[in-house]
A and B are shown apart, each in its own frame.
Chain A
Amino acid sequence: MKDREKNRILTKHISRRDLLKGSAFGLASLAIPIGKADASFWEAFFQKHFREMNRDEVKAVIARLEEDYYKKYNKRFNIKTTEALPGTLFGYGLDLSRCIGCRRCVYACVRENNQSRDPQIHWITVLRFKKGEKWVNDLEEAEKYYYPDEVPEEGYFYMPVQCQQCENPPCVKVCPTQATWKEPDGIVVVDYNWCIGCRYCMAACPYGARRFNWGEPRIAREEINTNVHYLGNRPRYKGVVEKCTFCIQRTRGNPGRYPACVEICPVGARKFGNLLDPKSEIRYIIENKRVFRLKEDLNTQPKFFYFFAT
């Protein structure tokens, strides 16, 4: 009895020592009893980086993921891997003179992009400022938690912030595993199956745009959006980082659709288009309105333009 007790402690020590060495495999062997030890576990474990897979490998991965999601949510998913359309560079415009701070964009985004409801994850943060107080450079006066009965409130204005899709993204630069990168159409994406969850990108992002799955993401079955993109709104995992992708599952199409936040905005404050198309609405705004970008001193070159139409 005593010996067995000793043995148990001893084996625990051995697995601890493996861990000490930082051996990934030692840790994986620890994690197996918690997860499932079937074939798909190992396929998932050895899944390659998205950009290093050939077409057949991508197909196999998509099939496996659709199966996994079916098991988990009891719904059939359609996971797209649509590539960037040639000749597109997406840009976003936000009219601060129109925004009323209603947060409809926040929740439309949550529904469209399958954000976890518990713990709650939002990709868009709406900041409220008191008129006349300092803002833009010094966001210390910003109020994120405002709950009035009605918006807009007298004496306040609002500034929604989400991923600014920088041309010079600091988050991509710091990622140690290249799990996040900028696509040819300018969208910064994350491979949720490659991210190790170190959160260096979150430290690097000047806009607080990246979100981490601190717990197991939970969404009610009937609220799931099954029309998803591999690099976008497919359900995420515990322990990985996620962010706004300009609704990559909608915008990458011919004809494409507007991002959910643009579509829902009741006052038309949100504009979206192709920066490379001289006739696009976003180009008209940049050329004819007074635009500015957030924290331009950091030289991140966002493709997200704030402006005042009136």
Chain B
Amino acid sequence: MSTTETPELPAPAPARTPRAPGRAGPGLPAPVPGLASALVWGAGQLLNRQAGKAAFFFAFFAGAVVWEIATGNYYAGMEFTPRANGGFFIRGLWGLFTLGTQPREMTLTGLTEGDNSIVLMANGLIALLTLALLAIIWIWSVRDAARHRAALNAGGPAETSGDYFKRLWESAFAFIALSPGLVLLVFMSVLPVLFGILVAFTDYSRDNLPPRNLVNWVGFENFATIFAVPSWAATFGGILGWTVVWAVIATITTYAAGLLIAVMLASRRVRFPRVWRSVFLLPWAVPAIVSALVFRSMFNGQFGPVSQWLVDMGVTDERVYWFTDPTSPNLARAIALLVNLWLGFPFFMALVGGVLANIPESYYDAARIDGAGPLQQFRYITLPIVQRTVTPLIILSFVHNFNNFGVIYFLTEGGPDNVDYRFAGSTDLLVTWLFKLTLDNRLYNIGAVMSLVIFMIVGVISVVNLNRTKAIREL
């Protein structure tokens, strides 16, 4: 992995067994320098008479030890505890395993500085990631020592350290160029993802907030809660079911409507297709949050214009509370699907329109000569060609709808209320439920479990989709 740009990387402090490097005999078997490097970083390279390389590897080892001592609280004749004396690595790993041992307490001198479990966990993760990086360098040094010796024994030329580093620089270019992105990804994506996974196995929630309380590892208890405690399981099952139904219907309706409009606009019978097309693109171009909030106002039960018209025209006797009437959850769901249709069809219209423009007219001429009617032409020419090009996007659209936070949250905020659900309403999707669990109810552990579940579902769909595309083969 990336090594050259991080010269001072810390390491675990393994039991040091300083061993005087033996005289480098030319006939030394290959594993010997490897073993030497495994015990003391760079010792094998020294055996191979590559002082520069030896110094390079030893620097990582020394850097790690120095870092640990400098950040820790080491002094002679101490009684060692990881909590009080450990440095970056030791205390980090201790924190990750125990999540802290001393809660904040009231003493005679005031509140004590308790352990903050979440900070400890994050620090521990960073220490662990650093250790993993060091392990890679360690393996690299061991393999390098053994291989170089094997090459020497086979009569190969003795490469100097200088030549080696020149070669390394050439191949390290990619890593140097990638490193800004890599650093950002590690700290803003990889670390949070790992952290999120860990939280799923703790009792970090509003009842247990650091720094006041300590967080504990609880194993699979949260998973058991969601899948086995009846009220939670019912909520999860109900929301999952609606999420799937929502995603399927939302995808099919937007695609079908987009296809229909695109085919109509491609027809020779329609005048001014460009004008129509520009108008129909508006819902795609207007930010979805604005449109959804506008619809929310239009369908406002108390003051919204839609209810008012229905009353004015005598369709309904009293105002309809579209998103807040607990007795008619399906009404809210249907409206949400319609609003989503309004928002989603232009994208497919534009896509399909692009495909249609590229179907050679000769296909249709040939079909007409064979006596095919317009419906048959559509069924056997247009549809297969469109389908082939657009299918990956339909699957992407399904995933998008599965996680369609915007429409639901802005339009209904999950409502109407559902008394059978925990912290969720009738139109809540898994995503919006997750959002409410985390932000409004601070049930971080349950939220983390939900994140994992959603990732599993979305991941499986994405992997299946990926296998169909060129992406994997072109890696």
B partners with A: no
